[in-house]
Structure formats: C-alpha cells, structure tokens
Structure 1
Amino acid sequence: MTQRLTPSLTPLDTALAGLLQDVGPIATIELPLTEAAGCIAAGTPLLAAHPPRDSAAADGWALCANDIVGASAYSPLPLATAPVWVDAGEPMPPGCDCVLDADAVEVSGPLAQVLAEGVTGQGVRRAGSDIAGRVPAAAEGQLIDPAALLLARAAGVEKLAVRQPRLCIVNVPGAAAVTTSMIAEIARAAGLHVKTREAAARDAASIAQAFVDLACDLVVTIGGSGVGRRDAAVNALARHGDVLAHGLALQPGRTAAVARPGKVPAVALPGSPDHALAAWLALVLPLVDRLSARLPRRQVTLPLARKIASSVGIAEIALLVEEHKTWMPLAVGEWPLQAIARADAWLLIPASDEGFAAGVPVDAYLTRE
C-alpha cells in the first residue's frame, strides 16, 4: 500500500503534543566523567571545598607576613629559623600566610635573611577559593559541559548522575548517507546514547522488522517518509502502533511523521538533510528535553538584520548567522547545505505569523552550545 499524507497537514503544535503525551523523564544512571560530557545532570553530588586548605599559588618561600615587616634589600631581616620552600599547589606550612619569590630570601648555609616584606595572602590560594564547597558540578537539568567536568575533576569526583536517553536510529536503505551521519553525530553531541539499525530493504515489512526488540527510549527513522512509490517507513511504523500524524504543517520537514510503536515515541525523518534536520529541531529535540528533564534551552535575542517573510498556516524554521550583533537570515523554508553549515542559530516562525520585520528582536536557539 502506497503511503499517503493526510488530506490536511497536521499543525506542528498538535503533532508535538501527541508525541510528548505521557512521556516523562527517564531513570538516572551514573557515568564516568569522560562519558558524562554532553549529558543532562540529574542531581550531581555536592562538591567538597577546593582547595581543602590554604595552598601555595606560586613557587617560593612560605613565611608569616607579620614576622618580616620592614625587611628590604637595604635592611635585610635575619630569620631565626630556616624558611620553608613550597611549590605551587602544596599546602601552606602551619603559621605561614604568604609566599615570597625565590630572590626575596637569601640563604647561606644555616643563615637566611629576607630582602622584602610580604602581605598576608600574597602568593596564597585560600581554602575554598576555587570551589566554595557544597555546590553541584552542574545543577539538575543543566548540560554537563567542560566547565562542570573541570569542577568535578578538581573535587575528586569520578562519576556523575545523568539522564542519557537511548536513541535507536533505523536507517531505510536509499536514504542519503550524509543525513544518517548528520543525525547520529548531532544526537551524540546532545548526550544521547545512539544505536543504529539498517532495515534490510525499503518495503514496510523489512523496515518493521527493524523495530523488533527495541531497547531504547525513542526511535527515529531516516528516509522513506514521503509518498514515493518506494517509501514505506510510515506504513512500517503503523504495523507496530499508532501513527499520530503524517504530513506536518512544517517547512522544511513536511513529510515527517510522529508515531508510537508500542510505548516508545518515534519520529520518521525525511531522507533529505534539510528536512531531516528541521524535523529533528522541531520534534525530536523537545522529546529529548522531556526525557532528560532538561531545563529550558537558552535563547539569544538579537534584532533581525533583514525581513523574514513566512506563509500563514505553515510553521517555518529560519537559519540565522550572527553579524554585527544582529541575526542575519541565511535560509527560510529550504536550506542549502552551506546554510546549514554556517548557521549559528535557528528560529521557529509560528504558523500564525507572517514573519518578522527588519529590526525586530527575535529569540533564537543556538545551533551549537
């Protein structure tokens, strides 16, 4: 049976609401720091203060500032006891509160004299100055980025609690290889655990077989979502559950579909890179955020450098690049690969809008975080 789009296109909001219905955050897991990067924090442990005690911020002589008041090159101050040398990062010796440079102290056999004064705290890193203590590496729902990993490593933490949705990509033969690679790479960069399956053929039965024994939290198919004679991805999804919408009021991405094969939400992505990416942004990202309990994604507000026109009744996604503190539109509706590569952000234009005038501030999502 040949696939057919619904007589009227499904509004994006309706399709997204159906996709997200009854979907909640997945269970947390603990991952080593190297694997937690890009995941969403799920109640990371409170970090201990770092450094745990005062330590040397530079190599030099550890002394007490009050004991060397008045010392100078013209009036060296003899020391009753030999000073202690510390390397950067070493704990400060008891009774010492400053670190002087190597040439500020002269040592000759058992005799030592100071040639400069010191100030309390000079050359010293105070306890808790890097990490105050009892703070998380990343707040729950936040992205675990290199800064969060830096704090965790400094505090001696080896694992972090995260939510990492498991994504299964079902690739339909004949789909553009660049599309499959792009979606898989974007998914991994977003912190998902990605597995890929290849359907044996383009017919519905072969594609449906790839859905058997899925152990994942969401599914995307790539290719075969259109109405061509050899397109059957949506029919295959229907064999395992409900197709909630096929044919969306979304541009690019009109032939995408949302379904529920069993209890797992699924999105059928078109094989074209621009249509697949648009459907990923509009449908899959909100699903990933719901599964991982992510806090709302950051938007950047800048005025438009040029007018964007849009058709009422169709939600359109515009690709933007930042130029001179404005958003310059690169592509709307149809996206050349070069525009995808250059884009700094994307903007969803609701179906109820005709677009935005030049100079109007718009809230755009960054393409790279």
Structure 2
Amino acid sequence: MTQRLPPCLTPIDTALAALLRSVDPVTPVALPLTEAAGCISAGMPLLPAYPSRDIAVVDGWALRASDLVGASSYSPLPLTELPAWVEAGDVMPVGYDCVLDADAVEVSGPLAQVMAEGVPGQGVGRSGSDIAESSPAAAAGYPVGAAALLLARVAGREKLNVRRPRLRIVNVPDATATMEMIAELARAVGLDVSAHEAGARDATSIAEALDVSACDLLLTIGGSGIGRRDAVVTALAQCGDVLAYGLALQPGRTAAVGRLGKVPVVVLPGSPGRAFAAWLALVLPLIDKLSMRQPRRTVTLPLARKIASNVGIAEIALLAWEHQAWTPLAVGEWPLQAIARADAWLLVSGSSEGFAAGMPIDAYLIRE
C-alpha cells in the first residue's frame, strides 16, 4: 500500500509548531576543543585572566618610563644600573613598565645609556589584556568558532560545555547524494551525526531502521513521495505519529513531520533541492530549539529584482549577495547550481504575493 498526499496541504507554520511542541533542549556536555567546534555554547566555564602578569610583547630592554624623561640620541641618558633584557612572552621584571628596542640602549661593559624616551605600557602586554578575568570563551547560545577555541586554548582549557544534539539519518536507497549533503550540513552546525541505510524501500525495512534509542532527532531521506516504492510515511505511521504530511511548502511539498516517542522526526524528500528547502524551513528551527541557540543572523539588503509568489503556498527563495543587493537565484524548484551559488534564503509566507524590486529584505545567511 502506498501513501497519498492529503487533498489539503498543511501550512508550514502549523507543521513547524506541531514539530516543536514538547521538544526540550538537550543536556550540555563537556567536549574536547576540536569536537566542540560548531556546537552551541552552554554555560561556559569562566576563564582566568591572560596574561596573568604583565609580559613583554617584543624583544628588548625592560625599563621604567619615568627614568627615561629627556633621553635622546643627542642627549643620551646614563643608567645607574644595567637594564634587563626580555624576550617576547617573558614576565616583566617587577617595577618595570616599558620595553625599548635593542638599538635604543647602548651597553659597554658595566655602563649603559639610553637614547630614547619610553611611555608606560610600551612593548608590554598588561595582565588581563588578552582575556579579562572571569570572561567566557563564548557567549551561551552561540556557535563555538575559531576565536572561542583560541581563547580556550590560550587559557589552558581542554574542554568546553556545549549542546550537541544527536542526529540519526536513515537513508532510503537511491537518495545517497542527498543524505551526504544533509549529513554535511548537520555536522557544520554542530550535530553528532550517525547515518544508516534502510534495507529496502518497503515499509517494513524502513520501520526497522527507525531506531531512536540513541538520538535526539531523526531524519529520513527519500521515499516520501507518492510513488509505488515510497513508503517512509507509512513506516512512520506504523512506529509512531505522523503530525503532518503534505506541506504547503515549495519546494518540499512531500516532506513530513512526526514523532517517535518523544523524538521529533522530519521526513525529507530524496531530491537535493526539496530536501534542502525542508532542512531550512523545518530542521534548522528544530536544531535551534534542541541546542538553545540564539536567533540566527539576518542581513538586510534591497532586492535586485522582484520575487513573485503564489498565495497559499510558502515558498523559499535562494538569494545571492551581489552589488549590495539580494539577487534572487531560484524560487519554486531549485537547480543544483542555484544551491551552490546561494548566500542566503528567504521564506515567503503563503499569505504573500512576493516582494517588489528595491524592497529591503531580511534574509538568513546560509553560511554564517
């Protein structure tokens, strides 16, 4: 028995609300720095001040600026004691507050003279100048990026607290390219991904692969249409609950959402473009709730040309950032080259007929 799309498509807002209902954030975990990259920070431990003491940031002579007033090459200033030589990274000697270049001091045996003035802090890294005392490596709710990892490493941290939802992907045969694309997108936003193959395209084989014992979110790829071998929604109905099937979303009409116990499930079409659209409209908001991510960044630019849309169907437009404007690349069905070129995306509500050329548009960046 094959599934059929219902005569009335479910609005995307209704499907998303049903999907997000009863979904709670995952518990934070402490991960090694290399594994924490891309994950959403959660209650980061506060870092100690760095450097912990004043250090030299250049090689040279450590001196007191107040002792050097009036020194110049025309009027060298004799020193009462030999200055201390420091290398970049060395702790500054107590009471010294500047570092002069090597050629600013002449040393001859036990005698030394200075030929330049100095100012307090010259060539010196003050205590806490790189990392203030009790600073977080990354603000809670934001992705852990290279800068946060740098701060953690410099401060001597080996792990960071993050939220990393566990994603299980079930690939229905013949949708491997799409599955690999979704897995790469998921890893890029900090998910712990495991991918599995359904034994065949029949409902029994697919149902056997719908194991949610070790995941926070399950995605299926392919087999969501109305062909004779499309049985994912049937399998989901046998194992759990189908919350919505047949969405008023273009592309992505044959996507579905459901639940297996407490685990949310999103059924993605096998077509790369349709799966990517459902990923943007359904999966990203779900990931954001699971990881307690702060709102995603949007960029406001005028439209280079109009976007026309059909009332009653929410449509996702792919956009390119060109000449300080958003240029629409594709609305409706998406060619692969449009997906490759896109910088941002825009969800056009089903109640809208589109947007006029020149209108300022808030678009979500695909790569933040």
TM-score (norm: length of structure 1): 0.98
How much does 1:212 deviate?
3.2
Cα distance in 2 for partners of 1:66, 1:214 equals 69
Task: Report if the CA contact (8 A) 1:224-1:270 is conserved.
Answer: yes
How much does 1:319 deviate?
0.3
How much does 1:335 deviate?
0.8
SS in structure 2 of the partner of residue 265 of structure 1: strand
Aligned AA (2:120): T
Match of 1:304 in 2: 303
Task: Report if the CA contact (8 A) 1:225-1:233 is conserved.
Answer: yes
Match of 1:206 in 2: 205
Cα distance in 2 for partners of 1:345, 1:64 equals 54
Match of 1:120 in 2: 120
Match of 1:279 in 2: 278
Cα distance in 2 for partners of 1:353, 1:337 equals 26
SS in structure 1 of the partner of residue 168 of structure 2: strand
Aligned AA (1:306): R
SS in structure 2 of the partner of residue 30 of structure 1: strand
Cα distance in 1 for partners of 2:212, 2:117 equals 74
Cα distance in 2 for partners of 1:315, 1:9 equals 11
Match of 1:228 in 2: 227
SS in structure 1 of the partner of residue 263 of structure 2: coil
Cα distance in 2 for partners of 1:236, 1:52 equals 59
Comparing 327-336 with 112-121, greater Cα deviation is found at 112-121
Match of 1:71 in 2: 71
Cα distance in 1 for partners of 2:245, 2:293 equals 27
Cα distance in 2 for partners of 1:236, 1:108 equals 88
Match of 1:355 in 2: 354
How much does 1:48 deviate?
1.4
Cα distance in 2 for partners of 1:38, 1:158 equals 16
Cα distance in 1 for partners of 2:326, 2:60 equals 51
SS in structure 1 of the partner of residue 94 of structure 2: coil
Aligned AA (2:285): P
How much does 1:263 deviate?
1.7
Task: Report if the CA contact (8 A) 2:212-2:260 is conserved.
Answer: no
Task: Report if the CA contact (8 A) 1:238-1:261 is conserved.
Answer: no
Cα distance in 1 for partners of 2:313, 2:114 equals 78
SS in structure 1 of the partner of residue 61 of structure 2: strand
Aligned AA (1:169): I
Aligned AA (1:47): L
Match of 1:147 in 2: 147
Task: Report if the CA contact (8 A) 1:302-1:363 is conserved.
Answer: yes
Aligned AA (1:157): R
Structure 1 gap ranges (5+): none
Cα distance in 1 for partners of 2:25, 2:212 equals 22
Task: Report if the CA contact (8 A) 1:237-1:243 is conserved.
Answer: yes
User: Do the aligned partners of residues 289 and 120 (structure 1) sit closer, same or farther apart at CA in structure 2, a change above 3 Å counting?
Assistant: same
How much does 1:131 deviate?
1.6
Cα distance in 2 for partners of 1:257, 1:120 equals 66
SS in structure 1 of the partner of residue 337 of structure 2: helix
Task: Report if the CA contact (8 A) 2:63-2:83 is conserved.
Answer: yes
User: How big is each residue's C-alpha offset from its partner over 1:110-152, in whole Å with a ceiling of 9 and x where there is no partner?
Assistant: 2222111111111111111112222211111111111111221
Cα distance in 1 for partners of 2:29, 2:211 equals 25
Pairwise CA RMSD of aligned residues? 1.0
Comparing 192-201 with 49-58, greater Cα deviation is found at 49-58
User: How big is each residue's C-alpha offset from its partner over 1:6-56, in whole Å with a ceiling of 9 and x where there is no partner?
Assistant: 111111011101101100111110001111010001110112121112111
Q: Pairwise mapping of residues 111-190 of structure 1 onto structure 2 (< 5 A)?
A: 111-175=111-175, 177-190=176-189
Identity %: 72
SS in structure 2 of the partner of residue 322 of structure 1: strand
Cα distance in 2 for partners of 1:118, 1:289 equals 52
Cα distance in 1 for partners of 2:285, 2:343 equals 19
How many residues get paired? 368
Q: Pairwise mapping of residues 1-369 of structure 1 onto structure 2 (< 5 A)?
A: 1-175=1-175, 177-212=176-211, 214-369=213-368
Cα distance in 1 for partners of 2:59, 2:159 equals 32
User: Do the aligned partners of residues 212 and 72 (structure 1) sit closer, same or farther apart at CA in structure 2, a change above 3 Å counting?
Assistant: closer
Aligned AA (1:301): T
**Which consecutive segments of 4 or more residues in structure 1 shift more than 3 A?**
none
SS in structure 2 of the partner of residue 162 of structure 1: strand
How much does 1:245 deviate?
0.9
How much does 1:74 deviate?
2.2
How much does 1:78 deviate?
2.0
Task: Report if the CA contact (8 A) 2:54-2:125 is conserved.
Answer: yes
Cα distance in 1 for partners of 2:171, 2:238 equals 17
Cα distance in 1 for partners of 2:115, 2:272 equals 70
Cα distance in 2 for partners of 1:218, 1:212 equals 11
Cα distance in 1 for partners of 2:137, 2:162 equals 12
How much does 1:213 deviate?
5.6
TM-score (norm: length of structure 2): 0.98
